[in-house]
Amino acid sequence: MKKQPTCPCCGFDFEFKPVLIGVPFQCPNCGKQLRTSQLYAICIKSIALLASIAIPLYFGFRWYYVCLAAALLYAPSYYVAAILARATAPPNLEDASDILTLVQK
């Protein structure tokens, strides 16, 4: 059975769909502001970037076309990487209320 992300404050088990990567959200159980870990978001973005460059290179595109194709393929690659990452390694959640307080000042 797949491990679901849990709230670090109250232990509430989240479904996979409402957890947004890199965007603060509220725990429906305790009301704390949460977010996924920054490392998780960086890993998914890095995998998406590498995939968006590797796919055109695999098909033999020239470098100037690789840049264009990578720009077009980044969003779909990010979407696929996020789905696969959530299915294989759900994100760790952390308290985002202290970060939001710093941003609001």
For the entire predicted model, the pTM comes to 0.73
Tokens in use for 61?
């595109």
Q: What is the pLDDT of residue 50?
A: 97
Contacts of residue 35, defined as CB under 8 A and 6 or more positions apart, other chains included, come to: 22, 23, 24, 25, 93, 94, 96, 99
Q: Left if phi > 0, otherwise alpha if psi is -120 to 50, otherwise beta: which for 35?
A: beta
pLDDT tens column, 15-67: 755 566 778 888 888 888 888 888 888 999 999 999 999 999 999 999 889 99
pLDDT of 1 higher than 60: no
| Residue indicated by tokens 């695999």 | 58
